[in-house]
A and B are shown apart, each in its own frame.
Chain A
Amino acid sequence: MDEKAIIKELPAIRKLVYGNLMETYLPFPIDLKASSRWAVEADVPRDTDSIIFTSHMYQMGSMFKNYEKYIPLFTKLGGSRMIASVGSRLIRTDKSEVERSNRILKNIYSMLLKSGINCGYLYEDEPYSGSLLLELGFIDEFMEYGRKLLSLFRSRGVKNIYTVDPHTTNSLTNLKKMIGFDIKFAPYLNAISGTNGSGKFVLHDSCLYSRFLGMYNDVRLAAKNAGIELLENPDVTGKSTSFCCGGPIGPINAEMSSKVASLRVKQLNTVSDSILVVCPLCYENLSEFGNVKDIAEVMA
């Protein structure tokens, strides 16, 4: 294990991510217009007390992986924001990826509407949850950013949050414990009803949903209620036997991240060639090695 590289990289990652977050509410420079295009297209209202909080996760999914490739360069250059902004020009999301994330988010919004939940969106003011800080172990920075995040939501009169991914849900759960984040939140999968879906898949559980947030059965129920058939194998999809997509280690060691992803896909493929995920980062990591769909692509 190359600890020297980690010790060198971590301060640069902290400087880059934390610096950006405290200044712009975003970990990396991203195109906010593009990130909120789905909401424009779906005509999502502004200034509501209930919001859908994407945390830019679907929109940035592929960018996360791209930024990971540049981390050694940022490290060499000390993680300065100037370089990060150059990165924003270098790192662009593929057009088809943008369209895919737009489709998914519009569908999630539509499923919430169909379930009788009216919510708005913060558009260009939408922040990122800070999950990267939490997951990399920058706890002090995560809490400090969390206070800033809470202030922003309060200033916008937000009273209910619907999250769309496990990382954001986990961040808010931790902020509740750590800083008393007191705005109600719920993952959309637990809020929707009356959905329709199809297909036969092996589910790759999100580690956070299944083993940290107590949603192992909830996700299965959401799929089952929509008519999606999930193929199970206790050695592959059990609560204690399934494992990570490798995504969280990406910023530290991209090679190991890929290795874990390929192992996981190999294991999932012993059950089915069609893999279902409930997290945009799992999609990014696993889709390089197999046929993967997000649950919001196969139900409506």
Chain B
Amino acid sequence: MNWTDVVDLVIKGNNREVEHVLKNYPYIPAIAEDLRKKKLQVLEDLPKYIQETMKNVEKLGGHAYLARDAEEARRIIGKIVGTKKTVVFSKSNVAYEIGLREFLQETGNDAWETDLGEYLVQLQNGWPAHIVAPAIDLTREDAATLVSRIDKNITKDSKIEDIVAAVRKFLMDKYLKADVGITGANAVAADSGSIALVENEGNIRIDSVLPQTHIAVTGIDKIVPTLPDALNEIYVQSAYAGLFPPTYINITSGPSSTGDIELKRVSPATGPKDFHLVLIDNGRLNASRDENIKEALLCIKCGRCYLACPVYRAIGKEWISTKSPYGGPTGVMWNYITNNDPWPASFCMHSGGCSEVCPMKIDIPTVIREIKSRGNRSLV
């Protein structure tokens, strides 16, 4: 199957799944509407919410950092991780954005992606083709060829179940050796300093509990006012990704702790002894102050807009995702915010499907038109 056939099947499947979810869980659109308001509220005074979040992470016994750009973020995380460590990553677009895995490998660490799709992308030494399903462009044969590099029992004819089992076996060894687990965060609650993560595979749960150090790296745009808002972001993201209810929802509030003796809460307990939250700006604060771009920060990265876009349908990750983890229509906005690159906007056909399917009701075509226009203005 070629790319356009694959993506056509994915699009049909996603449309049906989302339709089914919204029919069976009719409260989702109202939650999405409320979430939009809450996220806009944060964008009105992002510095205040960053400060509140960091203060509450520290209160929980964790450590919070604000990195202005990718370089500063790598420096902070590099210092926490050190060298010669085994590091397990859950799928994090922000980690891609700042080139974190490569950086940690270059500084002498054994770093592995643990989300199956992302792991295949790592073996491929490529870029994710979709924000939720990174290996969407790989067939069973492609996956088998890649996995045969780490397990000689896998051949081109191997079944999907056998490929998955081989990866599981390989990663289990890494999990048990891991010193550091690095995750992203789907949402960060300012009022509690908690992070919320959604997944289906179970790798995030292991990455965030088994290694003795947990580092969560995410953008300041992920901050929401309260813990219930953070959970709402999880519900909306998974519903519009067509994966609802999600298999696992993880809430992490600081390092592991126990109150079993005299109800005195002490830390650490069984899980990580250290928890670090690294918040990344990298263009987001400026965007929050830019009335014409600000809406892009409402994106919850469900990836639905990709599937409603004719350009993505035609060329997939070749559009943007060979230089940024963000692709599709939202990637045009996010590549501009994080890389100051307006040119992918020139390919927008203003088909308008992106804003039709966006749960956050972001006026994506108007933001893209603004980016297109800024690019054009810069031309002599």
Contact = CB atoms under 8 A, between A and B. Distances in A.
Interface of A: 1, 3, 6-7, 10-11, 14, 135-140, 207-208, 210-212, 234-235, 238-244, 246-249, 252-253, 256, 259-260, 263-264, 267
Given A1-B319, A212-B350, A252-B347, 15 more contacts: A6-B343, A10-B375, A11-B380, A138-B376, A139-B370, A207-B351, A208-B350, A210-B352, A212-B365, A235-B12, A243-B308, A256-B315, A260-B311, A263-B4, A263-B314
Given A3-B343, A256-B347, A207 B352 contact: yes
Nearest to B355: A211
A139 B343 contact: no
B315 A1 contact: yes
B286 interface: no
Contact of B351 (A6, A137, A244, A267): A244
Contact of B353 (A7, A241, A246): A241
Interface string B323-358: 000000000000000000001111101111101110
B361 interface: no
Nearest to B344: A1
B246 interface: no
Interface residues of B, number: 38
A246 B347 CA distance: 10
Q: Could you tell me the dominant secondary structure of chain B's interface residues?
A: helix
A232 to B, nearest CB: 14
Contact of A259 (B314, B352, B357): B314
Contact of B350 (A7, A234, A235, A248): A248
B375 A263 contact: no
Contact of A243 (B315, B347, B353, B365): B353
Contacts of B346: 3, 6, 10, 136-137, 252
Q: Considering the complex of A and B, which 3 residue pairs feature the smallest CB-CB distances, nearest first?
A: A137-B372, A211-B352, A240-B356
Given A241-B15, A243-B353, A253-B347, A260 B310 contact: yes
Nearest to A253: B347
Interface of B: 4, 8, 11-12, 15, 308-311, 313-315, 318-320, 343-347, 349-353, 355-357, 365, 369-370, 372-373, 375-377, 379-380
Scoring A14, A135, A240, A264 by chain B CB atoms within 10 A of each residue's CB, the highest score goes to A240
Contacts of B370: 139
A102 B59 CA distance: 75
Nearest to B4: A263
A136 B376 contact: yes
Contacts of B353: 207, 211, 240-243
B17 to A, nearest CB: 13
Q: Could you tell me the dominant secondary structure of chain A's interface residues?
A: helix
Nearest to B372: A137
Contacts of A241: 11, 15, 308, 353
9 contacts: A1-B343, A11-B380, A208-B350, A211-B351, A235-B12, A239-B356, A244-B350, A249-B349, A260-B314
Contacts of B12: 235
A1 B346 CA distance: 10
Nearest to B352: A211
B375 A256 contact: no
Given A14-B376, A136-B376, A260 B343 contact: no
Contacts of A207: 349-353
B310 to A, nearest CB: 4
Contacts of B351: 207, 211, 243-244
A265 to B, nearest CB: 13
Given A244-B351, A252-B347, A137 B380 contact: no
Contacts of A252: 346-347
Contacts of A10: 346, 375-376, 379
A243 B369 CA distance: 18
A92 to B, nearest CB: 27
Scoring B320, B346, B380 by chain A CB atoms within 10 A of each residue's CB, the highest score goes to B346
A246 B348 CA distance: 10
Contact of B369 (A137, A234, A238): A137
Contact of A248 (B308, B343, B349): B349
Contacts of A263: 4, 310, 313-314
A239 B320 CA distance: 26
Contacts of B365: 212
Scoring A14, A137, A140, A238 by chain B CB atoms within 10 A of each residue's CB, the highest score goes to A137
Given A211-B356, A243-B353, A1 B376 contact: no
B15 A1 contact: no
A260 B313 contact: yes
A137 B4 CA distance: 28
Given A1-B320, A11-B380, A139-B369, A240 B357 contact: yes
A240 B349 contact: no
Given A256-B314, A263-B313, A249 B347 contact: yes
Nearest to A211: B352
Given A137-B369, A138-B376, A211-B352, A244 B320 contact: no
A142 B314 CA distance: 29
Contact of B376 (A137, A247, A249, A259): A137
B292 to A, nearest CB: 11
Contacts of B4: 263
A263 B376 CA distance: 29
B193 to A, nearest CB: 37
B379 A246 contact: no
Contacts of B311: 249, 256, 260
A246 B373 contact: no
Contact of B352 (A1, A212, A247, A260): A212
